[in-house]
């Protein structure tokens, strides 16, 4: 069995949703899933080292240059399978899945599982068509991944609904596993530890600390975050903001007006938690798009697991409804309204942490993972 990724560079999300998943499955079900990562030749040695540091058994290979040439990587996988034997393949995304499906046509693979991370055709049309050009039809690749795979894993129920509506998917051979947190993170800091971190970063106990963690990709809607927080900072002098992103700080209107109430850090994945612990609320405001409607942002579980309440837009995957049902944040619907945000108590943070433990650890989805593993074991 292998878990195949294509053109996914190492990152906090990659380690959480790929290497940690492989490690969890291997340990929990006593199996041997090998990670095979096809990555760009740009920065290959450094990225290969990073992946293997997190998953030493990984096979990291340089992909054929340019994504439009994705099919040519079939030969690379054939050569690999000559050495490791015929495999069942758990595939992250539509390109990895279609590579496995091409091999299956020639009896080089056993079972193919499509790990759907989002609405690919929608994402390309809404956000990526400006930065990439493919001769292939993304819609056709997505359709084949959904309809021709032996089994599917979706990150949200909303994504399965998208499959039904766009591609007339009617099979029941799927499961839903949202983006999860690491199963070994089971301890929440003490109240004194939280206070110490806030003090170290220069925050008072009565400050309202709001954090944004993530990239500045278009679907992250950082401009909407800026507009929203500018109004909130004007109406509440206690609000402080942490930007965990490499986005140019000088472009933010709130920084121009309140530079002393904003700090920016771009840290390694394992260092992010420190800044989340110091915060009260996590920002997950995004524009209304199909991409966001079916998404499962990793940061939702990360915010919650750090004890934060989430400030989230309507219709963000399954998480907006979860937020409302469990009172673990605020659905932001009015960008002209000054919300009355107050610092969270330690007990409130502990409740949010427990909620994440009960809903977003890999252990919670053990049965779904087991279903995939048993299918991959079949010849």
Instruction: Tell me how far apart the alpha carbons of residues 260 and 238 are, in angstroms, rounded to a whole number.
Output: 12
Same domain, 354 and 248: yes
| Residue pair 48/60 in contact by the 8 Å Cβ criterion | yes
174 pairs with which residues across the strands?
152
Q: What is the pLDDT of residue 223?
A: 87
Same domain, 227 and 367: no
Q: What is the pLDDT of residue 139?
A: 93
Residue whose pair of structure tokens reads 């001769």 in the numeric block: 135
Same domain, 332 and 219: yes
| Residue pair 263/201 in contact by the 8 Å Cβ criterion | yes
**3-class secondary-structure state, position 155:** coil
Same domain, 196 and 220: yes
Same domain, 88 and 47: yes
What total of structural domains would you count in the chain?
2
Structural domain that includes position 348: 191-359
Same domain, 232 and 164: no
| Residue pair 35/58 in contact by the 8 Å Cβ criterion | yes
pLDDT by residue for the chain (379 residues), tens only, comes to 999 999 999 988 899 899 999 999 999 999 999 999 999 999 999 999 999 999 999 999 999 998 888 999 999 999 999 999 999 999 999 999 999 999 999 899 999 999 999 999 999 888 877 555 565 689 999 999 999 999 999 999 999 999 999 999 999 999 999 999 875 667 899 999 999 999 999 999 999 999 999 876 666 678 888 999 999 999 999 999 999 988 888 888 999 999 999 999 888 877 889 999 999 999 999 988 999 999 999 999 999 999 999 999 999 999 999 999 999 999 999 877 888 999 999 999 999 999 999 999 999 999 999 999 999 988 6
Same domain, 130 and 261: no
Same domain, 220 and 315: yes
Listed residue (245, 194, 191, 200) closest to 221, CA to CA: 245
Same domain, 61 and 207: no
Same domain, 221 and 310: yes
Same domain, 170 and 289: no
- Which two tokens mark 64? 């054929």
Give the C-alpha distances (Å, rounded to integers) separating 87 from 71, 77, 288, 314: 18, 10, 40, 41
**CATH number for position 274:** 3.40.50.2000
In the chain the first and final C-alpha atoms are separated, in Å, by 11
Same domain, 121 and 210: no
Q: What is the pLDDT of residue 353?
A: 96
């Amino acid at each position: 069995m292998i878990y195949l990724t294509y053109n996914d560079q190492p990152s906090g999300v990659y380690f959480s949703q790929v290497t940690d998943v492989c490690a969890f499955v291997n340990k929990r079900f006593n199996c041997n899933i090998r990670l095979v990562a096809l990555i760009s030749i740009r920065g290959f040695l450094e990225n290969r080292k990073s992946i293997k540091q997190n998953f030493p058994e990984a096979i990291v290979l340089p992909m054929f240059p340019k994504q439009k040439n994705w099919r040519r990587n079939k030969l690379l996988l054939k050569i690999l399978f000559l050495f490791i034997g015929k495999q069942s393949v758990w595939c992250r995304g539509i390109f990895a899945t279609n590579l496995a499906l091409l091999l299956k046509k020639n009896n080089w693979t056993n079972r193919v599982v499509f790990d759907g991370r989002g609405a690919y055709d929608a994402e390309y049309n809404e956000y990526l068509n400006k930065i990439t050009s493919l001769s292939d039809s993304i819609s056709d690749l997505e359709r084949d991944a959904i309809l021709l795979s032996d089994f599917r894993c979706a990150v949200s129920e909303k994504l399965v609904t998208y499959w039904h509506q766009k591609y007339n998917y009617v099979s029941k051979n799927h499961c839903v596993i949202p983006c999860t947190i690491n199963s070994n993170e089971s301890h929440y800091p003490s109240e004194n530890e939280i206070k110490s971190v806030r003090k170290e970063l220069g925050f008072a106990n009565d400050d309202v600390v709001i954090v944004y963690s993530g990239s500045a990709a278009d679907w992250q809607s950082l401009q909407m975050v800026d507009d929203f927080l500018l109004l909130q900072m004007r109406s509440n002098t206690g609000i402080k903001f942490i930007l965990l992103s490499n986005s140019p700080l000088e472009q933010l209107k709130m920084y121009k007006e309140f530079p002393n109430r904003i700090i920016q850090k771009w840290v390694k994945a394992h260092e992010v938690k420190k800044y989340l612990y110091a915060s009260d609320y996590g920002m997950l405001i995004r524009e209304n798009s199909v991409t966001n409607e079916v998404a499962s942002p990793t940061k939702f579980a990360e915010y919650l697991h750090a004890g934060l309440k989430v400030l989230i837009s309507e219709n963000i995957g399954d998480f907006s409804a979860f937020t409302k049902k469990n009172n673990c944040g605020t659905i932001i619907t009015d960008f002209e309204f000054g919300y009355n945000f107050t610092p969270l108590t330690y007990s409130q943070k502990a409740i949010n942490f427990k909620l994440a433990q009960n809903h977003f650890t890999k252990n919670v989805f053990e049965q779904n993972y087991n279903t995939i593993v048993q299918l991959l074991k079949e010849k």
